[in-house]
């Protein structure tokens, strides 16, 4: 997911996307542990997307506190 797309989303949408990505990451890790994954790099991309969303949410939180 591109950072520009993330910044366009509202905070509630980001929270929803974050929970979906966390559940997807859990499923990917579980799949890796049990029977292996077709594409193990998918875990890396999901983790990066989670980090991007958390960063944008934190930036917004700090911006609100400053005002």
Q: Which of 43, 48, 61, 44 is nearest to 18 (CA)?
A: 48
Q: Which of 2, 43, 39, 3 is nearest to 24 (CA)?
A: 43
CB 59 within 8 A of CB 13: no
In the structure, what pLDDT confidence band is assigned to residue 67 with cuts at 50, 70 and 90? confident
Q: Please state the domain extents for the chain.
A: 3-66
Mark 29-52 as b/e (b = at least 16 C-beta within 10 Å): eeeeeeeeeeeeeebeebeebbeb
pTM: 0.90
Q: Does domain 3-66 bear CATH number 1.10.287.310?
A: yes
Residue-wise pLDDT tens digits, 2-58: 999 999 999 999 999 999 999 999 999 999 999 888 899 999 999 999 999 999 999
């Amino acid at each position: 997911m591109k950072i520009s797309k993330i910044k366009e989303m509202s905070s509630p949408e980001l929270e929803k996307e974050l929970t979906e990505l966390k559940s997807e990451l859990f499923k990917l890790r579980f799949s890796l542990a049990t029977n292996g994954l077709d594409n193990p790099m998918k875990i890396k991309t999901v983790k990066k997307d989670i980090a991007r969303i958390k960063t944008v949410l934190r930036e917004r939180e700090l911006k609100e506190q400053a005002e």
